[in-house]
């Protein structure tokens, strides 16, 4: 099996290295990752300026491609340029921090997997909650087992999966729960400060993740209980029921 691996924390992230090593149990891994951190960029792409790529070497050997762009850029380049033949699987992570609730929509990690799904590949985003010192090798080993199990179910081409692991604690994850994505949020936080020259500046979202309201049977809730969560996603944002409702409305015409 051939695997394209990306992330949003950048090519030097410990979660990326751990997952690259662990995924090699399943097949050949090609790493295409952002040269610098891209957390929170969502599905952004680079098209107003060129995308520079350099080769990253470790212990004297080629290790991966470092891309001056977003996770979606990395997957595009991986698919179109660096993987020949095409990969069977696209994996994004391990992200430093969970990607649960509506953070899924901001996540560069999940976006890497979405881009893989666009290309018709089975794609998995992997994130590890923080709070205790993270054990990335253990998380990578667990994630690889989950991916192996998932692949045995023969997921359809282009299927998209969001895997979250609870923070590193003895005995965690307690198991894996297939759950939906939480969608409620309580409030956003923006901290207003003053710089040394008297100008106002803001820090955005520092507490926003913790302020999510946990709904039972969701990724946000179960990860806090010590479970890994697996959420099947789709990128069709259409509200299908409402489309039907709108058909009965008399819309203006020219
Ligand atoms: Mn990140």
pLDDT in tens, 201-233: 999 876 666 666 678 899 999 999 999 999 999
- Name the least confident of 39-53, 60-74, 212-226: 212-226
CA of residue 48 to ligand 1 center, whole Å: 23
For the chain, domains (ranges, CATH) are 2-183+215-236 (3.40.1210.10)
φ and ψ of 110, to 5 deg: -65, -35
Instruction: Say what the pLDDT of residue 18 is.
Output: 98
* Ramachandran assignment for 69, one of left (phi > 0), alpha (psi -120 to 50 degrees), beta (any other): beta
CA of residue 243 to ligand 1 center, whole Å: 35
Q: Give the total residue count for the chain.
A: 254
CA of residue 104 to ligand 1 center, whole Å: 11
- What is the C-alpha to C-alpha distance for residues 154 and 40, in angstroms, rounded to an integer? 31
Q: Which two tokens stand for residue 196?
A: 């040394």
CA of residue 237 to ligand 1 center, whole Å: 23
- What is the C-alpha to C-alpha distance for residues 39 and 84, in angstroms, rounded to an integer? 28
Instruction: Say what the pLDDT of residue 209 is.
Output: 61
Sign of the Cα torsion 31, 36, 40, 45 reads negative
CA of residue 38 to ligand 1 center, whole Å: 7
Instruction: Say what the pLDDT of residue 249 is.
Output: 94
Sheet holding 53-58, edge to edge: 53-58, 61-67, 28-34, 2-6, 89-96, 122-128, 160-165, 228-233, 176-178
Instruction: Say what the pLDDT of residue 140 is.
Output: 98
- What is the C-alpha to C-alpha distance for residues 8 and 38, in angstroms, rounded to an integer? 5
CA of residue 41 to ligand 1 center, whole Å: 9
Instruction: Say what the pLDDT of residue 211 is.
Output: 64
CA of residue 137 to ligand 1 center, whole Å: 17
pLDDT in tens, 167-187: 999 999 999 999 999 988 766
CA of residue 190 to ligand 1 center, whole Å: 20
Q: Which two tokens stand for residue 220?
A: 């946000």
CA of residue 39 to ligand 1 center, whole Å: 4
Instruction: Say what the pLDDT of residue 113 is.
Output: 98
CA of residue 16 to ligand 1 center, whole Å: 11
* pLDDT beyond 80 at 200: yes
* Ramachandran assignment for 240, one of left (phi > 0), alpha (psi -120 to 50 degrees), beta (any other): alpha
pLDDT in tens, 68-127: 999 999 999 999 999 999 999 999 999 999 999 999 999 999 999 999 999 999 999 999
Q: Which residue has the tokens 């926003």?
A: 208
Instruction: Say what the pLDDT of residue 189 is.
Output: 82
CA of residue 8 to ligand 1 center, whole Å: 5
């Amino acid at each position: 099996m051939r695997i394209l691996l990306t992330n949003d924390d950048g090519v030097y992230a410990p979660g990326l290295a751990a997952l690259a090593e662990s995924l090699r149990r399943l097949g050949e891994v090609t790493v295409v990752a952002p040269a610098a951190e891209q957390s929170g960029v969502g599905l952004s792409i680079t098209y107003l300026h060129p995308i520079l790529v350099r080769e990253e070497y470790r212990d004297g050997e080629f290790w991966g491609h470092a891309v001056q762009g977003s996770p979606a850029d990395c997957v595009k380049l991986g698919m179109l340029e660096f993987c020949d033949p095409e990969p069977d699987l696209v994996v994004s992570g391990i992200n430093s921090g969970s990607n649960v609730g509506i953070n899924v929509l901001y996540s560069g990690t999940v976006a890497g997997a979405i881009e893989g799904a666009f290309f018709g590949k089975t794609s998995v985003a992997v994130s590890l909650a923080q709070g205790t010192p993270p054990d990335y090798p253990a998380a990578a080993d667990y994630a690889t087992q989950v991916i192996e199990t998932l692949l045995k179910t023969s997921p359809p081409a282009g299927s998209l999966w969001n895997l979250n692991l609870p923070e590193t604690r003895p005995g965690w994850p307690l198991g894996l729960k297939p759950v939906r994505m939480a969608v409620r949020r309580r409030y956003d936080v923006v901290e207003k400060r003053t710089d040394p020259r008297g100008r106002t500046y803001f820090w955005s979202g520092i507490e926003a993740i913790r302020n999510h309201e946990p709904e039972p049977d969701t990724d946000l809730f179960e990860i806090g209980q010590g479970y890994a969560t697996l959420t099947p996603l789709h990128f069709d944002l259409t509200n299908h029921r409402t489309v039907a409702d709108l058909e009965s409305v008399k819309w203006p015409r020219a």
